[in-house]
Amino acid sequence: MNTRYGETLAEGALESPSAERNKQAILEVLERYLPATGTVLEIATGTGQHVVHFARALPELIWQPTDVDPDLRPSASARIRAAGLANVREPLALDVLDARWPVSAADAVVCINMIHIAPWSATPGLLRGSAGLLAAGAPLFLYGPFRREGRHTAPSNEAFDASLRARNPEWGVRDVADVASCAHEHGFDLAEVLEMPANNLVVVFTRRAGSAAG
């Protein structure tokens, strides 16, 4: 049992209460930017709650979940099987720090609640790898807590940041400006920053035309 996600559910699926709360709000943002058809790569799939919810709502898209954690991929697999969704592929092992990813192309990339619970190197890794997959104009979505202009958006986020850094000094809530600067270096333009429930943000980037990968 993975205690980070509470009780183990039937067939090996794990449950994240926060994923259950935020999945619909995130979906409503994705619907504004995702193409009508194509493949969406999800980085750090976790329990699989998000990808199943998104795939059910957007059946014309093919969803490719991935996660670096071998304890979490079976949960996503279990949820996909239970949902009976034909437009979700089997979760793949993907580490954003790897030079080669196990996918060759995508029409959009979604990454939820990852960059703050990883070293900073994961952010340029994510951007570099995504740049190698996405065509000009394709979207990249980041969701989670962020700082803005060096300040936390809420006391709860400041406390969360402190707890993350206590667990691992390389972790922490990132500043939108730092992420946007890194994204620009890797061929992305900042398209929109949207406020979300529970003091989180969705930060949307688009692949810049004429920009070399990485």
Each residue's pLDDT tens digit, 165-201: 999 999 999 999 999 999 999 999 999 999 999 999 9
What is the structure's pLDDT at 2? 39
Residue 141's identity, in one-letter code, is F
**What confidence score (pLDDT) does residue 212 get?**
66
User: Which residue ranges form the domains of the chain, and what is each CATH number?
Assistant: 3-207 (3.40.50.150)
Q: What is the pLDDT of residue 9?
A: 53
Q: Which residues of the chain have pLDDT under 70?
A: 1-10, 212-214
Q: Is the overall model pTM greater than 0.75, yes or no?
A: yes
What pLDDT, on the 0 to 100 scale, is given for residue 11? 73
Q: What is the pLDDT of residue 13?
A: 87
Q: What does the pLDDT read at residue 6?
A: 43
pLDDT value for 214: 58
**At CB < 8 A and 24+ separation, what contacts does 126-131 make?**
126/43, 126/96, 127/182, 127/183, 127/185, 127/186, 127/188, 128/186, 128/213, 128/214, 129/96, 129/98, 129/101, 130/41, 130/106, 130/186, 130/188, 131/186, 131/187, 131/188, 131/207, 131/211, 131/213, 131/214
Q: Which of 22, 41, 24 is nearest to 144 (CA)?
A: 22
Q: Report the alpha-carbon distance of residue 22 to residue 101 in Å, rounded.
A: 28
